[in-house]
Amino acid sequence: MFGNKQQTQLAQEDKMIESQVDLFKETWNKGGIIEFKNERMAIINKTAGKTVQYIIAMDMVMAQGYKMEGVIPGMGNAGTTQVIFRKA
Protein backbone atom coordinates (compact mmCIF):
# COMPACT_ATOMS: atom_id res chain seq x y z
CA MET A 1 0.00 0.00 0.00
CA PHE A 2 2.80 2.44 0.90
CA GLY A 3 6.19 2.61 -0.77
CA ASN A 4 9.44 2.37 1.19
CA LYS A 5 9.88 6.16 1.23
CA GLN A 6 6.37 6.64 2.60
CA GLN A 7 6.86 3.91 5.21
CA THR A 8 10.10 5.55 6.34
CA GLN A 9 8.39 8.94 6.61
CA LEU A 10 5.46 7.45 8.55
CA ALA A 11 7.87 5.70 10.94
CA GLN A 12 9.72 8.98 11.52
CA GLU A 13 6.45 10.80 12.17
CA ASP A 14 5.39 8.08 14.64
CA LYS A 15 8.69 8.54 16.53
CA MET A 16 8.20 12.32 16.58
CA ILE A 17 4.65 11.91 17.92
CA GLU A 18 5.80 9.53 20.66
CA SER A 19 8.60 11.91 21.66
CA GLN A 20 6.05 14.69 22.29
CA VAL A 21 3.40 12.73 24.23
CA ASP A 22 4.67 13.71 27.68
CA LEU A 23 5.06 17.35 26.63
CA PHE A 24 1.44 17.53 25.45
CA LYS A 25 0.13 15.66 28.49
CA GLU A 26 1.62 18.39 30.73
CA THR A 27 -1.01 20.80 29.37
CA TRP A 28 -3.79 18.23 29.06
CA ASN A 29 -6.71 18.55 31.47
CA LYS A 30 -8.60 15.32 30.75
CA GLY A 31 -12.21 15.73 31.78
CA GLY A 32 -11.88 19.51 32.18
CA ILE A 33 -13.97 22.05 30.28
CA ILE A 34 -10.85 23.14 28.35
CA GLU A 35 -9.28 19.75 27.83
CA PHE A 36 -6.28 20.94 25.84
CA LYS A 37 -4.94 24.25 24.59
CA ASN A 38 -1.69 25.37 23.03
CA GLU A 39 -0.68 28.15 20.63
CA ARG A 40 -2.31 26.38 17.65
CA MET A 41 -5.46 24.64 18.90
CA ALA A 42 -7.90 24.19 21.75
CA ILE A 43 -10.28 21.36 22.63
CA ILE A 44 -13.33 22.24 24.73
CA ASN A 45 -15.68 19.68 26.28
CA LYS A 46 -19.43 20.24 26.38
CA THR A 47 -20.75 18.05 29.17
CA ALA A 48 -24.32 17.71 30.39
CA GLY A 49 -24.93 20.02 33.35
CA LYS A 50 -22.02 22.34 32.51
CA THR A 51 -23.53 24.47 29.76
CA VAL A 52 -22.63 27.80 31.37
CA GLN A 53 -19.01 26.73 31.87
CA TYR A 54 -18.90 25.59 28.23
CA ILE A 55 -20.21 28.96 27.01
CA ILE A 56 -17.66 30.83 29.13
CA ALA A 57 -14.81 28.64 27.83
CA MET A 58 -15.97 29.06 24.24
CA ASP A 59 -16.17 32.83 24.64
CA MET A 60 -12.73 32.89 26.25
CA VAL A 61 -10.91 30.93 23.52
CA MET A 62 -12.69 32.84 20.74
CA ALA A 63 -11.63 36.14 22.36
CA GLN A 64 -8.06 34.78 22.26
CA GLY A 65 -8.30 34.38 18.49
CA TYR A 66 -9.34 30.73 18.13
CA LYS A 67 -11.97 29.78 15.53
CA MET A 68 -14.23 26.73 15.73
CA GLU A 69 -12.93 24.01 13.45
CA GLY A 70 -15.14 21.00 14.15
CA VAL A 71 -17.27 19.02 16.57
CA ILE A 72 -16.86 15.44 17.76
CA PRO A 73 -20.28 14.37 19.08
CA GLY A 74 -20.62 12.64 22.43
CA MET A 75 -22.01 9.20 22.95
CA GLY A 76 -25.40 8.90 24.64
CA ASN A 77 -26.92 11.23 27.21
CA ALA A 78 -23.85 11.19 29.45
CA GLY A 79 -21.42 11.60 26.55
CA THR A 80 -19.16 14.58 26.22
CA THR A 81 -19.07 16.50 22.96
CA GLN A 82 -15.66 17.88 22.03
CA VAL A 83 -15.39 21.13 20.11
CA ILE A 84 -12.12 21.71 18.27
CA PHE A 85 -10.76 25.24 17.75
CA ARG A 86 -7.84 26.41 15.66
CA LYS A 87 -5.85 29.58 16.20
CA ALA A 88 -6.68 32.03 13.40
Tens digit of pLDDT for each residue in 36-88?
999 999 999 998 888 999 999 999 999 999 999 999 988 655 678 999 999 98
- Would you state the pLDDT for residue 80? 84
| Banded model confidence at residue 12, pLDDT cuts 50, 70, 90 | very high
Instruction: Parse the chain into domains and list their residue ranges.
Output: 4-87
Distance of alpha carbon 71 from alpha carbon 4, whole angstroms: 35
Q: Which of 37, 81, 35 is nearest to 61 (CA)?
A: 37
Distance of alpha carbon 21 from alpha carbon 54, whole angstroms: 26
- Would you state the pLDDT for residue 77? 57
| Banded model confidence at residue 30, pLDDT cuts 50, 70, 90 | confident
